[in-house]
Amino acid sequence: MNELTESLKEMALTLGAFKVGIATTKTLAGGPPSADLTYVLPEAKSAICFALAFDQSLIDPYFKKEDHESLEKNKVRTTTLANGIALEMAGFLQQYGYKAVPQSANFVYRMDTENWMMDMHPPISHRYLAVRSGIGHFGYSGNIITKEYGSAIVLASVVTDAELTPTDPLPEDENYCDECKLCLSVCSSGYVDPVEKVTVTLGGKEFSYGKRRSNSRCFLVCGGLTGLNSSGKWSTWSPARFKIPEKDEEFIAALPGTIEAYLERPKIKGGFFICLIPGNRMEYTCSSCHFVCHPDKEVRKARYRMLKESGVVIEEPDGTRRAVSPEEAKEYLKSMPPERRKLYESVSEE
């Protein structure tokens, strides 16, 4: 099995991944439900997990509000490439007589719970595979961080009944996460708890990261339904500025109105096609926690400053977006006809 294992690792790297690892039912034993490989393949014994990097040169212009399209396109196409690699590797294994199931990089969820659309549980968690097989560590955000590209990566995997040789997790003393929590500072939704952590056990080894709150938080902000930071001084790439609730239970009530407004705004081009998103199209207006985390702390700080100083995004009637000062944004919204203004912020009925 060592020969097949090495062939698969080389295959992933040749096709575009920069790192690959192997997890098995044994090394994942005792983990959460999404670490159970048999959920997608009853005969499963192993999983190949691999990581691709996004283009680092596109992150600064994205944070500065100079260029949204380039990084979004890179993210869409890199994610699609990851899916293609998983499909090709599964086909490779199948040709050798093994069962193999490719696992999509994102946007596929378990449908066996009543609230599956809000639970958003993946069939298999690439993050658990990645941290257990030595691709990276957990950052405080819960994202996988790597010494090569930070957390600006995408993960995908293949589950198989082939008995592959597992790879070891990375030593914890090599984890560069110092809990600076800039990942939380750039998240306007408050998705990750600043104090409480969760710990998962995978094959007898423990891994910890910040506890995640309601997925509705990420849905509201990362999904582009709204994006103005509570400071009022900067926003995501979303032109909407509806208030972001403080409590988890308030998010469900906030969604219908923001979704209605989202559907009435100019239609986006590009992005991902996702059934859970209104209009079946999702643009990445945020992902800031994903992109801010770099192995060099000074780079992290610089990216945070870029975001804070980037201004507030407004949208022209034709859908063109640009960043302006907070004061200019307020005046621009005030100048809109009431019916149009309601598409971007709450307007008093008085």
pLDDT at 275 over 80: no
Contact 119, 42 (CB under 8 A): no
Q: Tell me what pLDDT residue 118 has.
A: 67
CA separation for the pair 74, 270 (Å, rounded)? 11
Q: What is the pLDDT of residue 117?
A: 67
pLDDT (0 to 100) of residue 112: 83
Determine the pLDDT at residue 125. Answer: 96
Task: Give residue for tokens 């990750």.
Answer: 192
Q: How buried is residue 276: exposed, middle or buried, by Cβ count under 10 Å (0-12/13-18/19+)? A: middle
pLDDT of 273 strictly over 80? no
Which pLDDT score is estimated for 38?
A: 97
Using CA atoms, how far apart are residues 244 and 296, in angstroms rounded to an integer? Answer: 31
Least confident of 89-93, 104-108, 333-337: 104-108
Q: Which residue has the higher pLDDT, 276 or 42?
A: 42
Q: Rounded distance, CA 158 to CA 168, Å?
A: 18
pLDDT at 116: 63
- What confidence score (pLDDT) does residue 109 get? 80
Res. 106: pLDDT tops 90:
no
Flag the least confident range among 114-123, 184-193, 285-294.
Answer: 114-123
Task: Collect all residues with Cβ–Cβ distance below 8 Å to 140 and sequence separation of at least 6.
Answer: 177, 179, 181, 183, 184, 192, 209, 210
- Percent of the residues in the chain that have a pLDDT greater than 70, as a whole number: 98
129-187 pLDDT, tens digit each: 999 999 999 999 999 999 999 999 999 999 999 999 999 999 999 999 999 999 999 99
- Mean local confidence (pLDDT), 243-260: 89
Q: Are 230 and 244 in contact (CB under 8 A)?
A: yes
Average pLDDT, the chain: 93
Beta bridge partners of 49: 21, 157
Q: Is pLDDT at 230 greater than 60 in this prediction?
A: yes
pLDDT digits (tens, 9 = 90+) for 20-70: 999 999 999 999 999 999 999 999 999 999 999 999 999 999 999 999 999
Contact assessment for residue 7 and residue 113, using Cβ atoms and an 8 Å cutoff: no
**Number of CB atoms found within 10 A of residue 289's CB:** 24
Mean pLDDT, rounded, for 310-338: 96
pLDDT of residue 8: 98
Note the pLDDT of residue 41: 98
| Beta carbons of 348 and 341 less than 8 angstroms apart | no
What does the pLDDT read at residue 349? 61
pLDDT band at 302 (very low <50, low <70, confident <90, very high): very high
Mean pLDDT of 276-298: 87
Task: Report the b/e string of 48-87 with b at 16+ CB within 10 A.
Answer: bbbbbbbeeebbbebbbbeebeebbebbbebbebbbebbe
